[in-house]
């Protein structure tokens, strides 16, 4: 980066105030629509979210546990969007195989895997006590 750079030189930074917020919202919406249309992994994880989030609201758990369950699912979607953006940027540069490009894509994939593991562990840690409590009630009856 050169010392003479000014944000005024960037043609994409001209919006301010409510116009900037509106354009950012439109861009965000466009990104979500594109992810649903074009990214199969995002669609799979969104399907999982559409199942798990309603389930979390019917569970008799604390507000903090609701936040953990909801947050872990949303985190998977966020990390998948970031991974897809890294892949898109790399593919824009070149479709040619390169070690650094592959490494960047693998890092993004690893991040998604870690988010999925976190989601699984969170749900397991919160659901197992509920399931064991439910099975012990059935044994009493």
Could you give the residue numbers annotated as active site?
A: 80
- Report the distance separating Cα 116 and Cα 120, nearest Å: 6
Which residue matches tokens 């999982």? 48
Structure tokens at 31: 């990104």
**Secondary structure percentages of the chain, helix, strand, coil, to 5:** 85, 0, 15
């Amino acid at each position: 980066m050169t010392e003479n750079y000014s944000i005024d030189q960037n043609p994409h930074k001209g919006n301010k105030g409510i116009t900037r917020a509106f354009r950012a919202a439109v861009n965000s919406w466009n990104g979500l629509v594109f992810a649903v249309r074009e990214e199969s992994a995002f669609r799979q994880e969104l399907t999982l979210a559409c199942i798990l989030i309603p389930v979390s609201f019917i569970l008799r758990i604390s507000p903090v546990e609701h936040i953990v369950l909801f947050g872990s699912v949303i985190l998977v979607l966020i990390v998948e969007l970031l991974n897809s953006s890294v892949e898109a940027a790399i593919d824009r540069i070149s479709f040619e195989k390169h070690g650094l490009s592959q490494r960047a894509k693998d890092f993004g994939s690893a991040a998604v895997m870690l988010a999925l593991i976190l989601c699984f562990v969170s749900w397991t840690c919160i659901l197992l006590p509920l399931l064991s409590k439910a099975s012990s009630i059935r044994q009493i009856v």
